[in-house]
Amino acid sequence: MMSRVLSTEQAKSAIQQIQSIVNGGFTDQISQLDAQGRILSDPNVWDGPLAAQFRGSTWPETKAALDKAKQELEELRTQLNSISQNIFSAGGGS
């Protein structure tokens, strides 16, 4: 039984748009957020009860989520590259 392989121009465009968003700065923006969070985590820059709460829980939790999002975006980009190359080389698109 043959499985269906289909890749429309709409699929190709969506793949390219996702890759463009990931490559075009989204992961860079996550890195920029990390840099600013590290600055705010320094008690010599920002201190007080709310700053301590930010350092102790808010930022570590947010940083972990950002790191995970960045890793998952890189995995998505890699998977999309592989999928699109396989489909287009098999004649599923131009």
The verdict on residue 12 lying in a domain is no
The verdict on residue 56 lying in a domain is yes
**Eight-state DSSP code of residue 5:** -
Amino acid 39: pLDDT: 97
Domain with 73, as residue range(s), is 28-85
Structure tokens at 59: 């930022």
The verdict on residue 79 lying in a domain is yes
Read off the pLDDT band of 90 (50, 70, 90): low
The verdict on residue 50 lying in a domain is yes
The pLDDT tens digits for 14-66 are 888 888 888 888 888 998 999 999 999 999 999 999 999 999 999 999 999 99
pTM above 0.85, yes or no: no
Report the domain count for the chain. Answer: 1
Structure tokens at 62: 């947010």
Q: What does the alpha-carbon distance between residue 18 and residue 11 come to, in Å, rounded to a whole number?
A: 11
The verdict on residue 2 lying in a domain is no
For residue 93, pLDDT beyond 60: no
